[in-house]
Amino acid sequence: MSDNGNTKKVASRRPPTALFIWLGIFLVFGLFFLLSDDSAEKTDILTPHEFVTALDNGEIISADVVSGPERFFLIRGKWKKKAASGSAQEDKDLSAGTERNYEINLPATDELITKLQNGKVAKLKYEEDNSWWQGILFNVIIGVVIIVILYFVFARQMRGSGGGAMQFGKSRARMILPDEIKTRFDDVAGCEEAKAETKEIVDYLRDPLKYKLLGGRIPKGALLTGPPGTGKTLMAKAVAGEANVPFFSISGSDFIEMFVGVGASRVRDMFDQARKHAPSVIFIDEIDAVGRSRFSGIGGGHDEREQTLNAMLVEMDGLESLNGAVIVLAATNRVDVLDPALLRPGRFDRQIVIDLPDIRGRRQILDVHAKNVRLASTVDLDSLARSTPGFSGADLANLMNEAALLAARYNHTEATQADLEEARDKVCFGAERRSRVIPPHERKLTAYHEAGHALVNIHCKHGTPLHKVTIIPRGQALGLTMMMDHVDRYSRTKNEMLDTIAMSLGGRVAEEIVLDDISSGASQDIAHATNIAHAMVCSFGMSDKLGPVKYGERSEHIYVGRDITRNDSCSEETLREIDLEVKNLVSTQKARATEILTQHRDQLEKLANALLENETMDAKQVYELLEIPMPDHSADQTENEVITTDTDTPAADSENPDKPAEE
C-alpha cells in the first residue's frame, strides 16, 4: 500500500495453504506404497511339508534365505508346482511356465541348511534381515513429513493477517478508503445542529490551513451521544464518505479478549496505523464497552478493560500524541458511565448530541426513506410526522418499511395513507389481533373502560386532544385510547399532569360506575398515574405540602461501581409524607374522574355501545356521536405529535400488580 493510503492492497498470489496440505498427504501415501511390499496378495504361504516336498521334487526355482530373529529363517522366492494330476486347463497353465511367489518361516536348523544346499534350487542366496531398520526409516520419514506440514501450517497461520496466534495484539479496525462509502451528509436528516458540528471536522480535514492561520485547533475527539436509533453510526458513515481521508472503523467490544494485555496492544496498533495514514479518522462504535468509568472493585487488582482504557487515554492525549493528525469519533448511548478522564478537553473535546428528531426532523427523515417506497399521491407525510413524536430515525425507517409490507399484503400497487397509519400503530402498539377470541362480557368491559378514558379526556380542559379509540386487541392490550397533541411538547404544566392522571383513571372509574365491579385491566393505568404523581412530588416540586424540594435516590460508588445506589436522601418521616401526598394526588383525580363520568353517564353509555358496534372510532366520529363541538386546533397546526397511549391488559399478576398477566 502506498504512503498516502489511497491505493488498495494488492492481494497475495501465494498458493493457498490447503494446496500444500494435500501435497503433503499425497507424499506420505506415496512413500507408504513405495516402501511397502504390495506383492503379498500374490504370494503363496507354504507349510513346512509343502516346502520340503516341493524342494525334493525340484519345484523350487529360487530361494532367498533371510536370517531372522530367534533362529528362524524367512525363505521366499519363486516356485513352479508340477501338475501330477489335475484338470486339462491346470496342466495347460503349468506347462506354460507359470511361476508363483512363495514365502515360509522355518526354524534355522542344520538339517534345513543341508537340505537347501543339496536341493535342486537354481538360485540360492543368503542375507541378513535388515527389515527392522527399513521400518524405522519408514516411520522416521513419515514423522518428519508430518512435522514439516504442521510447522508450515502453523507458521503460515501465525504470519497471516487473519486472526492467527500472533495476531491477537493487532488492531481489528477496518480501514475504509474514501471511495468505498457512498453515504453523504445529504443522507443524514433530522439533526441539523449535530451535522453542522460534524461538518467542522470534515472541513478541517479538507483544509487544515484555514484553521491554523487563525490559531484554531480542531478537537482531537468528538463523542456522538443520543438515544438508540437516532443516527450516530450513520453520521460517522457520512464523515467517512465526506472527509476523503482514510477512515478506521472498530467496535468497542473488539478490543477485549480473553488474554491479558491484548486490548491495550490493539489500541496502540490502531493508533499506529492511523498515524501512518495521517490525516485520518478513527471511529469507535459503542465505546462504553471499553471506556467505562474505572473503579476499585472488591479485592482490588487490575481489570483488562482498565488497561485498554489507559492505553486509549495515553494515545489520545499523551506525550507521543500527534496534534491534528488523527481525529477520533466515538458513539454511545451511555455517556453517563464513561470515565471522566475520557471526556475531558484534549481527548473528547466535543460532545455532539444527536437527539430524537422534532416535527421538522421527522418530516425530513420521512422524505429520505420515502424515496425507496412507492407512495400514493394522496399520502400526507406532514400528518404522519405530526403523529410520530418520540420516533427515532430507525423507528421512522421501520415504519416506512412496514407500510410497504402492509401494502404488498393487501395487494396494493402503492402504499396509501391508511397503510402508513396502520404501520404507525403496529410499530407503536403491536399488530392487531383480530383472531383473538374475547368473551362477550370482557369485550363489554373493554368498551366501557376505553369509553371512560376518552370521555374524561374530552371533559378535561387541559387534556391532550383525543385521536383514536379502539377495542381491537394489540399485543397484550385489549383496547387503546390514543391522544395527539398539536405541538412538540418539551415540558408539562401541573394542570396538564393532573388531567393526565384523571384520564388514566377514567377506565377504572367507568368499570365501577357501570358494572359495579373492577378488573385487573387497569394495572398499567394505575402505574402510569402513580408514576406521574410521584414525579410531581419528588422531582418537579409540585406538592403544596412538601414544597419545591428534590426527593429521591442519590448514587454513590459502593465497591463495584455506580450502579449500586442507596436511598438515604430523606428520612423515614419524609418518605411517609411522600407516600401520603402521592396517594392524595391520585385519589383526588380519581374522585374528579368519577364526578365527570357520573355527570355524563348517558354519553358514556352511548360511546361504549358505539365502540361495541364499530370497534374503532377516530376523534371526529366520537365528537359527532356525543354531539360536542370538536376543538379547533388550526392555530397551532405547524407541529404535531402523539404523546399519550393507554395499553390496558386483561389481568395482572397478583404479586406484581404492574406486571400484566397473559391470558
Q: Which residue numbers are catalytic?
A: 450
Q: Would you say 250 and 295 are in contact if contact means Cβ atoms under 8 Å apart?
A: no
- The span from the CA of 451 to the CA of 597, in Å, is 10
CA-to-CA distance for 363 and 414, rounded, in angstroms?
20
Continuous H helices in 74-221: 88-95, 110-118, 131-159, 192-206, 208-213
- Strand 100-107 versus strand 43-45 pairing type: parallel
The answer, yes or no, to whether the previous bond of 279 is cis (omega within 30 of 0) is yes
In the structure grid, which three cell numbers stand for residue 249, read together? 472503523
Look at strands 62-67 and 123-128 and give their pairing: parallel
Residues 46 and 54 sit within 8 Å (Cβ to Cβ): yes
Judging by beta carbons within 10 Å of its beta carbon (0-12, 13-18, 19+), is residue 507 exposed, middle or buried? buried
**Residue 100 pairs with which residues in a beta bridge?**
79
Q: Strand 326-332 vs strand 280-285: parallel, antiparallel, or unpaired?
A: parallel
Distance of alpha carbon 110 from alpha carbon 195, whole angstroms: 106
The cell numbers describing 58, all together, are 525340484
**Nearest-5° angle of CA 302, CA 304, CA 310?**
80
Kindly list the distances between the CA atom of residue 469 and the CA atoms of 31, 166, 173, 449, 618, in Å, as whole numbers in the listed order: 84, 64, 51, 11, 6
Q: 634, 635, 630, 601: which is closest to 618 by C-alpha? A: 630
Among residues 372, 371, 307, 301, the alpha carbon closest in space to that of 339 is found at 307
- The set of residues, in sequence order, having a beta carbon less than 8 Å from that of 302 and lying 6+ positions away, is none
Cα separation, 353 vs 209, in Å, equals 28
Q: Are strands 174-176 and 280-285 parallel, antiparallel or unpaired?
A: unpaired
Q: Could you tell me if 195 and 188 are in contact, meaning their C-beta atoms sit under 8 angstroms apart?
A: yes
Task: Return the half-sphere exposure (C-beta side, CA atoms, 13 A cut-off) of residue 286.
Answer: 10
The 3-state DSSP class for residue 105 equals: strand
Measure the CA–CA gap between 350 and 335, rounded to whole angstroms.
13
Residues 309-326 as b or e (16 or more Cβ within 10 Å = b): bbbbbbbbbeeebeebeb
Length of the chain: 663
